[in-house]
Structure 1
Amino acid sequence: MNFFFFFFFFFGLVSLVYIRKHLLLCLLSLEFIVLSLLLMVFKVCLSFVSFYLYVMFMTFFVCEGVLGLSILVIMIRFHGNDYLSSIYLW
């Protein structure tokens, strides 16, 4: 069963590396990675019967998702699209 979690994590990383044109697609692949990490933490919490760690990770992951969506909304308002090539990093 652990193989599936690592497969999901690896597939999320591969999709993040190969699909870097739109910010929304990058956020979706990051959420896929987060989902695989959350499933791994859930499995660990099931074996140790402590769900405080799981709730803490869920809180961090929800904050990460909200932050990504707010960056997406700000980028669309200022640039008119979500292409990562339309912003100047340097």
Structure 2
Amino acid sequence: MLKIDFLRWGESAEVLREKALRATHPRSRERFMALYEISGGKSATQVGRETGRNAQTIMEWVHRYNEVGPQTLVYQRSGGHPPLYL
């Protein structure tokens, strides 16, 4: 079972939920909400089915959060063509 290491970062499940609701980018919202759902007892497979993501991707988000912290879930554009709209 996946565990979210809240204590390491001084957070809670409710903090993740708030970050998901307040995030400016949809990908950040998705990542924070996925961790919130896992903290509520869902598995990565269940969250993956509900979001259309691979369960391995969800597990990677959990491991990155546990190792690096919440800032790792914030989406950062990494290249490619700039968006057509701003």
Q: If you compute each CA radius of gyration, which structure gives the higher value, 1 or 2?
A: 1
Superposed pair shares fold, TM > 0.5? no
Structure richer in helix, relative to its length: 1
TM-score, normalization by structure 1 = 0.39
TM-score, normalization by structure 2 = 0.40
